[in-house]
Chains A and B, each alone.
Chain A
């Protein structure tokens, strides 16, 4: 191997000079300074007033001038523009705004209900194509208009889009609605047998849904339930029980509270951990799908328990509670399956699951899918394990009452 001869000092100096000059002339970021950018946080899309037009709501976060020190507060700047093409609405905004919009920070896309019922696939084309947007953006369907949702200032967030983001990401702690990112929606869209599901959000006022706000004129945004889509069109919303059933069957329950009830006994348990598996097997002499759900829980609240129990009785009581909770899970799952059969839309992905487990059988039935869903056997095997019941064993009760009523009343 030959050693390379040393470069003369003049050559080295020349290279250093060229590099230093390059630093000065290569500005980067398309000659835009960061303070010249307007960071978009959320986008809302509704049907426009004109036929075939869209009303695009853009929510920008801008730093609030502060006296220095501490964290920077953000305030929102929201405006809506109507136009026939989504991409050109941004251009329109740029004509009246001195900052360049940066879409890389958009985290939530809200779709108005009217537009969702007409179809969203064309609308999403821009967001999956333009390089600044990310496929990790969350999709939300507004019950009502996306504009109203993005203009609703809540008590916790100045910027509604960030409020929505907080609720969605908080779902990691409480699985009560599905989380759909743009990338996930597009993946499901690419499956031949499954319908996408997008969570829904709505504005509530004090008194709605049993929620009372300190400011009676105030609003809050609530996310629950989900919309089912067929060919990009919103067909129907799932109810609370159906949504939760879908989450069980899609193995998306991380933690949540579950209510079980039998006679006068009401139990609330928090799910710590759950796993849903499935098999394609014979059910009533016909091939069907059986879901195996395992969940471990802790009791959070017991209503209707009377009397004091010994440790042994308490263990028996917990064992008796498990089927009640399993029944609650089954009811949710059955509600989801019933809705899927009623709509004849396979939002649970039963067809895809059959394809994975038994591709030959899927080849036989896929031409009659999702119509065949109606008579397709679906069964459940649910195993609930109640680990503990929190800090106390028995519910608060006076010793006299416990003695007078006796232990026989414990198991209702």
Chain B
């Protein structure tokens, strides 16, 4: 079995945590919290910490097993399988929607005429290639893509400074902390997307106990990096557009990219950035695809490439036959809020809680 190095784990964690959240984060948090929206990023991402800690606490007890298999052992075969199947379906469906979101992103900005299927097939092709090459290649892909995405975001943040509007961040907390918490709640499903991916990734983590410690530390490093990066992205949007405009723009970051002017001739280089955003999108879509197949393999005991091909076809058909444009954005928000967040919270709490209860019963 392939295993990730601690560095690969960190990059993969950071890449999947970030995903393409930076595209819509500004709009979502400012809709709820106005100019204080940037404060919502940290509490939202920190919400996943206890659940990640619960997952990590199960690793030494159930080595080389993902959460689906652990569920079967802790909760019983059928309940475990039912949860595992739900996990797989959510991952595959959501991963497919991600590719659709990429089309929406392209169609609104640099390539409005690009056919739906071109981008979906492009993203899917890379995803299949990554899957067939294994988790280590996905991690290496993250090692390449994530730093590029970070650099692109920081590049925009720096070169948009001349367009900052004065005083847009003030007054701070004019309406109290409640809108900030409400905004945090709106984006809180995002880190849980990663938590679900982590549930499937467990068997590929380094096996040595000392590595597990490093992995826990590295998870916090990646989380801190994503919180800082996402907060900067939201701050920059509020300072450039003001809260009202930030909330009005669907993909504020794409508009920022469009506004970067280094000189009269070097302007309108948003197409360059879009390449990086596609990388981030593919990374996250692939992560969901991996997790979906891992889940099915654990539930049904599939092995080999045939099952992956069947799942792959379904993975392509979801965005091809599903909704487009704003429908996808809305659908993803609903799935995030009403399926991913409650499912992740309940599943992890249940497995961890029952396992803890069983161990206590044994020790009594």
Q: Do the two chains belong together in a single complex?
A: yes
Q: If the complex has contacts A1-B2, A190-B242, are A352 and B268 also in contact, measured as CB distance less than 8 A?
A: no
Is B108 interfacial (CB-CB < 8 Å)? yes
Identify which of B134, B174, B244 contacts A190 (C-beta below 8 A).
B244
Is A48 interfacial (CB-CB < 8 Å)? no
- How far is it, in angstroms, between the C-alpha of A89 and the C-alpha of B311 when the chains are bound? 48
Q: If the complex has contacts A131-B108, A136-B259, A359-B174, are A190 and B245 also in contact, measured as CB distance less than 8 A?
A: yes
Q: Is the CB of A131 within 8 A of B167?
A: no
Q: Which of A2, A181, A353, A356 has the most CB of B within 10 A?
A: A356
Is B112 interfacial (CB-CB < 8 Å)? yes
Q: Is the CB of A184 within 8 A of B165?
A: yes
- How far is it, in angstroms, between the C-alpha of A191 and the C-alpha of B167 when the chains are bound? 12
Identify which of B170, B241, B242, B261 contacts A136 (C-beta below 8 A).
B261
Identify which of A4, A136, A184 contacts B134 (C-beta below 8 A).
A4
A window 191-216: CB within 8 A of B: 191
Nearest chain A CB to B138 CB, angstrom units: 13
- How far is it, in angstroms, between the C-alpha of A1 and the C-alpha of B171 when the chains are bound? 53
* Residues on the B chain within 8 Å of A30, using CB: 111, 113
A window 146-187: CB within 8 A of B: 181, 183-184, 186-187
Identify which of B5, B245, B268 contacts A187 (C-beta below 8 A).
B245
Identify which of A1, A131, A359 contacts B136 (C-beta below 8 A).
A1
Is B116 interfacial (CB-CB < 8 Å)? no
Q: If the complex has contacts A183-B240, A187-B165, A187-B245, are A1 and B258 also in contact, measured as CB distance less than 8 A?
A: no
Nearest chain B CB to A63 CB, angstrom units: 15
- How far is it, in angstroms, between the C-alpha of A155 and the C-alpha of B259 when the chains are bound? 31
User: What mask results when residues 73 to 85 of chain A are scored 1 for a CB within 8 Å of chain B, else 0?
Assistant: 0000000000000
* Residues on the A chain within 8 Å of B2, using CB: 1-2
Q: If the complex has contacts A131-B109, A356-B171, are A191 and B242 also in contact, measured as CB distance less than 8 A?
A: yes
- How far is it, in angstroms, between the C-alpha of A230 and the C-alpha of B248 when the chains are bound? 20
Q: If the complex has contacts A135-B259, A186-B245, A187-B242, are A356 and B170 also in contact, measured as CB distance less than 8 A?
A: yes
Q: Is the CB of A187 within 8 A of B174?
A: no
Nearest chain A CB to B270 CB, angstrom units: 9
Identify which of A4, A183, A186, A251 contacts B163 (C-beta below 8 A).
A183
Nearest chain B CB to A181 CB, angstrom units: 8
B window 1-39: CB within 8 A of A: 2-3, 5
* Residues on the A chain within 8 Å of B243, using CB: 190
Q: If the complex has contacts A104-B268, A191-B244, are A134 and B259 also in contact, measured as CB distance less than 8 A?
A: yes
Is B360 interfacial (CB-CB < 8 Å)? no
B113 closest partner in A (C-beta): A30
* Residues on the A chain within 8 Å of B167, using CB: 352-353, 356
Nearest chain A CB to B61 CB, angstrom units: 24
Nearest chain B CB to A186 CB, angstrom units: 5
* Residues on the B chain within 8 Å of A189, using CB: 244
* Residues on the A chain within 8 Å of B163, using CB: 136, 181, 183
B248 closest partner in A (C-beta): A190
A359 closest partner in B (C-beta): B171
User: What mask results when residues 140 to 171 of chain B are scored 1 for a CB within 8 Å of chain A, else 0?
Assistant: 00000000000000000000000101111011
* Residues on the A chain within 8 Å of B258, using CB: 131, 134-135
- How far is it, in angstroms, between the C-alpha of A136 and the C-alpha of B162 when the chains are bound? 11
* Residues on the A chain within 8 Å of B332, using CB: none
Nearest chain A CB to B184 CB, angstrom units: 22
Is B110 interfacial (CB-CB < 8 Å)? yes
Q: Is the CB of A183 within 8 A of B259?
A: yes
- How far is it, in angstroms, between the C-alpha of A214 and the C-alpha of B5 when the chains are bound? 76
Is A355 interfacial (CB-CB < 8 Å)? yes
Interface size grouping (class) on chain A: 20 to 34
B246 closest partner in A (C-beta): A190
* Residues on the B chain within 8 Å of A131, using CB: 108-110, 112, 258
A251 closest partner in B (C-beta): B166
Is B361 interfacial (CB-CB < 8 Å)? no
* Residues on the B chain within 8 Å of A355, using CB: 171, 174
Q: Which of A4, A187, A355 has the most CB of B within 10 A?
A: A187
Q: Is the CB of A1 within 8 A of B5?
A: yes
Is B133 interfacial (CB-CB < 8 Å)? yes
Q: Which of B136, B248, B258 has the most CB of A within 10 A?
A: B258
B242 closest partner in A (C-beta): A187
- How far is it, in angstroms, between the C-alpha of A4 and the C-alpha of B5 when the chains are bound? 15
Nearest chain B CB to A157 CB, angstrom units: 15
User: What mask results when residues 210 to 254 of chain A are scored 1 for a CB within 8 Å of chain B, else 0?
Assistant: 000000000000000000000000000000000000000001000
Nearest chain B CB to A182 CB, angstrom units: 10
- How far is it, in angstroms, between the C-alpha of A131 and the C-alpha of B111 when the chains are bound? 9
Is B255 interfacial (CB-CB < 8 Å)? yes
A130 closest partner in B (C-beta): B112
A window 314-336: CB within 8 A of B: none
- How far is it, in angstroms, between the C-alpha of A189 and the C-alpha of B245 when the chains are bound? 9
User: What mask results when residues 98 to 111 of chain B are scored 1 for a CB within 8 Å of chain A, else 0?
Assistant: 00000000001111
Nearest chain B CB to A356 CB, angstrom units: 4
- How far is it, in angstroms, between the C-alpha of A36 and the C-alpha of B99 when the chains are bound? 32
- How far is it, in angstroms, between the C-alpha of A188 and the C-alpha of B255 when the chains are bound? 17
Nearest chain A CB to B154 CB, angstrom units: 20
User: What mask results when residues 1 to 37 of chain A are scored 1 for a CB within 8 Å of chain B, else 0?
Assistant: 1101000000000000000000000000010000000
- How far is it, in angstroms, between the C-alpha of A1 and the C-alpha of B108 when the chains are bound? 42
Nearest chain B CB to A41 CB, angstrom units: 12
* Residues on the B chain within 8 Å of A186, using CB: 241, 245
Nearest chain A CB to B97 CB, angstrom units: 23
* Residues on the A chain within 8 Å of B136, using CB: 1-2, 4
User: What mask results when residues 230 to 274 of chain B are scored 1 for a CB within 8 Å of chain A, else 0?
Assistant: 000000000011111100100000010011010000011000000
- How far is it, in angstroms, between the C-alpha of A129 and the C-alpha of B168 when the chains are bound? 23
- How far is it, in angstroms, between the C-alpha of A104 and the C-alpha of B168 when the chains are bound? 28
Identify which of A4, A104, A135 contacts B133 (C-beta below 8 A).
A4
* Residues on the A chain within 8 Å of B166, using CB: 251
- How far is it, in angstroms, between the C-alpha of A251 and the C-alpha of B166 when the chains are bound? 10
The 9 closest A-B pairs by CB, nearest first: A190-B244, A359-B171, A187-B242, A356-B170, A359-B174, A356-B167, A190-B242, A190-B245, A104-B268
17 of the cross-chain contacts (CB-CB < 8 Å) are A1-B3, A2-B136, A4-B137, A131-B109, A131-B258, A134-B258, A134-B259, A134-B268, A136-B259, A181-B163, A184-B165, A186-B241, A187-B165, A190-B243, A190-B245, A191-B244, A352-B167
Given contacts A1-B2, A131-B110, A136-B261, 17 further A-B contacts (CB under 8 A): A1-B3, A30-B113, A134-B259, A135-B258, A136-B163, A136-B259, A136-B267, A181-B163, A183-B241, A183-B245, A186-B241, A190-B241, A190-B242, A191-B244, A251-B166, A355-B174, A359-B174
